[in-house]
Structure 1
Amino acid sequence: MANHSDTNFFADVCKNFDNAAKHTSHQEGLLSQIKACNSVYRFQFPIRRGNGFEVIDAWRVEHSHHMSPTKGGIRYSDMVNEDEVMALAALMTYKCAIVNVPFGGAKGGICIDPKKYTVGELENITRRYTTELIKKNFIGPAVDVPAPDYGSGEREMSWIADTYQTMNPGQLDALGCVTGKPIALHGIRGRKEATGRGVAYAVRECVDHAEDMQKLGLTAGLGNKRVIVQGLGNVGFHSAKFLAEFGATIVGLCEYEGAIYNENGLNVEEVFAHRVATGSILGFPGAKEFKNSKEGLEQPCDILVPAALENQITSENIKNIKAKIIAEGANGPCTPEAEEIFTEMGGIIIPDMYCNAGGVTVSYFEWLKNLSHVAFGRMENRYATNSNAILINTLENITGKTILKEHRDLIVKGASEIELVNSGLEDTMINSYIEIRNTWVKNKDIKTLRTAAFVGAIDKIAMSYMNLGIWP
């Protein structure tokens, strides 16, 4: 069983909450209600393994029921514990509020190292975990909707969906019980890369504010910005990929086996292919390498994106960080002590609750798709294409000029599902950053974007309780 004695992730989240609560005028009792985890379900179940049995530890935490359903991923890791799941569930509550997604926060965890289990064993574990949630009413399209997290993905979500459907025959909206599903099981295009794409949007929006960049000694825009990314998993890979597409230069990549750095830039897809072929990012041609992964975080750059696990940047190594901006692709990669020091150094941290909210935003779109039983763009795509074509033909007849075919094709094309999803995600990340920054700029007592994000989240959640009549 995981050791819980030395964990304080949830305490860190509560500390950040308390710092922000000082800037609100809500009653202490209401603040305590918002902060507390409403439901913590800890359970064990056996699986057959070889000629014997193994007992699996698992959790599902529903932090806040101010909105239904609750929402949050399931983490498969031998380091997962109750404190971590509670902290991540709390962050999900605030995250959903920040990006205006109508869910309460939840999180799940299964204490295993998935690399040590066969596919069949993982399927048994996932289906049994789902069954336990069903028995206690901790899953359902109107109750609690899981999603992928560290160590899980589309495959595991498809097992969850199938198990739930099997045990709830005839439920019309059953596939809405989980998001992050494969397209074949009515998942949504763009979900897999959504968190990384959202990180890239968040960073791009941050550096587009010239006034803020001037204080850091940087120019506005992603052009000529050097970026180091920690983690080459789903979030890290797509964060690096899209940041490069938006004009940044990826100079460093860090993984658990070590780190590589090239001041002239690294091709992320080539590094990924190298790791698939060799099992390591080390040995990539033309790159300086470090056997200690955390050394890679300390190399020269403008932006650092920790997209692995929590507590990677602490009071012990923060002063060695040369970046001016830290974008938290992971949950809780910076401790409160590290953030305090980094702020005093003049740096900006784009907080996890906002920065990695792309996943839950697109999960929301997938949930809506499952409830409406129709893919985005299916009903209006062809109509928009035909209407735009009529408009272009009319303009050509009036002006007597012909539009080039490649330009015509771009103008008349109706939006596909992936285009609508990416558009909705981009709009969400831009507007949410503007909300956070406005709070930060207008209140001189608020020192960090994280505190500003918490203040906004607390206000929105408090309003929900008041509107429900739960609080006077």
Structure 2
Amino acid sequence: FGGAKGGVKLNPKAYTSSQLETITRRYTMELCQKNFIGPGLDVPAPDVGTGAREMSWIMDTYRQFNPQDVNAAGCVTGKPISQGGVRGRNEATGLGVYYGVREFLRFPEVQKMTGLTGEIAGKTVIVQGFGNVGYWAAKFFHKNGAKVIGIGEHDVAAYDPRGLDVDAIFKHRAEKGSFRGFGNAEMIEESTKVLERECDILIPAALERQIGLKNVKGIKAKVIGEAANGPITPDAHDYLVSQGTVVIPDLLLNAGGVTVSYFEWLKNLSHVRFGRMSRKWEEAGKSKLLALVEENAGRKLTTKERRAVIHGAEEHELVYSGLEDTMIDACEETRTTAAAKDTDFRTAAFINAIQKISTVTTQSGQMFL
């Protein structure tokens, strides 16, 4: 958030936790000394090989260099809840992927191109990459009725046309260090081959350039949702589009993490948890309305029913709502531009982005030289 991107190139598995902390803090120190980080300047977030732990180290280091900054918690996002993080951030990118694919399946033109119905339930899904993004994307597809038939990791891929239990295979890998030995699933030793298995929806959620000219003709998915950054090469993308495959581009589909990072930043600047000021007031209003309804209906709700009706939104529910609304709007904008310009969804997403930058630049009085 601010325009920059940076990191430390290393294999985190080759270092102890103490060493990683030292490296992370030193990296942050360099950013602080060069004035490259701050809540009103540039705000990093976790990416490959990092998570809430590293973001907490970054924030603590920034605070040591800027003890007077009352908004110091907003210098980085993706933090633990106890350190000013926001509930819902951990699963945000994967949830955004689910929302985006769900919206595209509802578009009549996508249904016509793919022959698929507009419902997630019953669709077959293959996910490449089982890190934070891939796991949560698979989990939300599974939770909403899709059949996750394949999951690929760096060492091996698991495949079962009957469907994989996402939580069970996640637990198995956490305990054994690999998918190997999980139930009756087929193990695909050349893990990238799972991309070429037949499915309705393919979610590359690992690294860049996973689908190129070397394997694109083997891709059988009807819809590809780019959860990773740049998983499809430009030439492969052109081929897929020419074959009628729906490609939902990364700059649109995997924006959930950045979106919720923005919500976390807003929380840090406001110094109050989302829902704290309004939840009980909302519940009180619903309770009064429910009492009037019960009085006129002549029936009292059970305690469980009453609790479900008057429940005020908690932080993660507000975050989910904001993310869903953002993704729905962005998908609709992309669809509209693609239809108006008679182009593919990636080009449409770029057109929208460039037009927004142009509008802001022009209206602010700036001129490109």
TM-score (ref. length: structure 1): 0.77
Q: Which structure has the highest strand share of the two?
A: 1
Which of 349, 363, 380 lines up with 2:278 in the alignment? Answer: 380
Are 2:3 and 2:42, in contact at CA under 8 Å, matched by a contact in 1? Answer: no
The alignment partner of 1:147 has SS state of coil
Q: Which amino acid aligns with 2:232?
A: C
Equivalent residue number for residue 182 of structure 2? 284
Q: Deviations over 1:181-223 (max 9, x none)?
A: 0011111001011000111111111112233212212222112
Q: Deviations over 1:400-421 (max 9, x none)?
A: 2223332221111111101100
Are 2:113 and 2:246, in contact at CA under 8 Å, matched by a contact in 1? Answer: no
Which of 109, 120, 142 lines up with 2:7 in the alignment? Answer: 109
Consecutive unaligned residues in structure 2, runs of 5 or more: none
Are 2:147 and 1:249 aligned? yes
The alignment partner of 2:280 has SS state of helix
Q: Deviations over 1:50-76 (max 9, x none)?
A: xxxxxxxxxxxxxxxxxxxxx1xxxxx
Q: Which amino acid aligns with 2:347?
A: T
Q: Tell me the CA shift for residue 397 of structure 1.
A: 1.7
Equivalent residue number for residue 469 of structure 1? 365
Q: Which amino acid aligns with 1:425?
A: L
Measure the CA separation in 2 of the matches of 1:406 and 1:208. 33
Are 2:110 and 2:246, in contact at CA under 8 Å, matched by a contact in 1? Answer: no
Q: Deviations over 1:329-384 (max 9, x none)?
A: 10000000000000111101110001110000100000000000000000100111
Query: Equivalences for 1:79-118 in 2 at 5 Å?
Result: 104-118=2-16
Q: Tell me the CA shift for residue 465 of structure 1.
A: 1.4
Equivalent residue number for residue 108 of structure 2? 210
Which of 9, 20, 24 lines up with 1:122 in the alignment? Answer: 20
Consecutive unaligned residues in structure 1, runs of 5 or more: 1-70, 72-103
Equivalent residue number for residue 154 of structure 1? 52
Equivalent residue number for residue 455 of structure 1? 351
Q: Which amino acid aligns with 1:462?
A: S
Measure the CA separation in 2 of the matches of 1:413 and 1:272. 32
Query: Equivalences for 1:364-379 in 2 at 5 Å?
Result: 364-379=262-277
Which of 166, 173, 188 lines up with 1:268 in the alignment? Answer: 166
The alignment partner of 2:7 has SS state of strand
Q: Tell me the CA shift for residue 273 of structure 1.
A: 1.1
Equivalent residue number for residue 406 of structure 1? 304
The alignment partner of 1:145 has SS state of coil
The alignment partner of 1:349 has SS state of strand
Are 2:308 and 1:308 aligned? no
Measure the CA separation in 1 of the matches of 2:265 and 2:17. 27
Q: Which amino acid aligns with 1:353?
A: L
Q: Deviations over 1:209-261 (max 9, x none)?
A: 23321221222211221000001100000000001112211000000111111
Are 1:210 and 1:219, in contact at CA under 8 Å, matched by a contact in 2? Answer: no
Equivalent residue number for residue 425 of structure 1? 323
Q: Tell me the CA shift for residue 323 of structure 1.
A: 0.3
Q: Tell me the CA shift for residue 279 of structure 1.
A: 1.1
Measure the CA separation in 2 of the matches of 1:147 and 1:333. 20
Are 1:181 and 1:187, in contact at CA under 8 Å, matched by a contact in 2? Answer: yes
Are 2:222 and 1:324 aligned? yes
Measure the CA separation in 2 of the matches of 1:404 and 1:211. 45
Are 2:138 and 1:240 aligned? yes
Larger mean CA deviation between 276-285 and 156-165 belongs to: 276-285
Measure the CA separation in 2 of the matches of 1:378 and 1:238. 27
The CA RMSD over aligned residues, in Å, is: 1.1
Q: Tell me the CA shift for residue 468 of structure 1.
A: 2.5
Q: Which amino acid aligns with 2:358?
A: A
Counting aligned pairs with the same residue, the percent is: 51
Q: Which amino acid aligns with 1:454?
A: F
Larger mean CA deviation between 391-400 and 410-419 belongs to: 391-400
Are 2:124 and 2:148, in contact at CA under 8 Å, matched by a contact in 1? Answer: yes
Which of 297, 315, 318 lines up with 2:195 in the alignment? Answer: 297
Are 2:113 and 2:245, in contact at CA under 8 Å, matched by a contact in 1? Answer: no
Are 1:199 and 1:355, in contact at CA under 8 Å, matched by a contact in 2? Answer: yes
Equivalent residue number for residue 179 of structure 1? 77
Q: Tell me the CA shift for residue 399 of structure 1.
A: 2.9
Q: Which structure has the highest helix share of the two?
A: 2
The alignment partner of 2:274 has SS state of coil
Measure the CA separation in 1 of the matches of 2:272 and 2:175. 40
Measure the CA separation in 1 of the matches of 2:293 and 2:182. 54
Are 2:107 and 2:118, in contact at CA under 8 Å, matched by a contact in 1? Answer: yes
Q: Tell me the CA shift for residue 467 of structure 1.
A: 2.5
Measure the CA separation in 2 of the matches of 1:211 and 1:462. 29
Measure the CA separation in 1 of the matches of 2:194 and 2:293. 56
Are 1:200 and 1:243, in contact at CA under 8 Å, matched by a contact in 2? Answer: yes
Q: Tell me the CA shift for residue 122 of structure 1.
A: 0.5
Q: Tell me the CA shift for residue 398 of structure 1.
A: 2.6
